């Protein structure tokens, strides 16, 4: 069964600190892995998209890594800011017979405190 599991479910950190969010997946056949940021009351916004051959991709203070062998990804946030408070969703795309399917994780809720 295709699944995407994220950890931790929630996380509280102080402003300025770094943090790492985890995503493990059992999705086959794998096409790409995406991280989205969802602010409260808003739709998810794309942060990064990584294909099988990409190990790391950055978007400002956000750096995503992908280990396709162990089927794990992480999202590292550097020097956190209050505006980083949001849910972070890992999404894995599976492809089969020319069609694509998105499998969503349940997200990690991050709270950054001043």
Partner 1 sequence: EAQVTQNPRYLITVTGKKLTVTCSQNMNHEYMSWYRQDPGLGLRQIYYSMNVEVTDKGDVPEGYKVSRKEKRNFPLILESPSPNQTSLYFCASSLSRVGNSPLHFGNGTRLTVT
Instruction: Using CB under 8 A, pick the residue from 46, 55, 56, 83 that binds partner 1.
Output: 46
Beta-strand pair 108-113/56-59: unpaired
Q: Please, are residues 65 and 73 in contact by the beta-carbon 8 Å criterion?
A: yes
Of 20-28, 31-39, 65-73, 75-83, the window that binds partner 1 (rule: CB under 8 A) is: 31-39
Contact positions with partner 1 (CB under 8 A) in 68-97: 89, 91, 95
19, 21, 32, 84: residue in contact with partner 1 (rule CB under 8 A): 32
Window contacting partner 1 (CB under 8 A); options: 13-21, 62-70, 72-80, 102-110: 102-110
* Residue 45 lies near partner 1 (rule: CB under 8 A): yes
């Amino acid at each position: 069964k295709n699944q995407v599991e994220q950890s931790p479910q929630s996380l509280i950190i102080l402003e300025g600190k770094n943090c790492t969010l985890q995503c493990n997946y059992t999705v086959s056949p794998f096409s790409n892995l995406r991280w989205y940021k969802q602010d409260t009351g808003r739709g998810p916004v794309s942060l990064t998209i990584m294909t099988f051959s990409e190990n790391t991709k950055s978007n400002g203070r956000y750096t995503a890594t992908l280990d396709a062998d162990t089927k794990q990804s992480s999202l590292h946030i550097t020097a956190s800011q209050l505006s980083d408070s949001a849910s972070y969703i890992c999404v894995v795309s599976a492809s089969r017979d020319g069609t694509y399917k998105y499998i969503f994780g349940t997200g990690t809720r991050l709270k950054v405190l001043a």
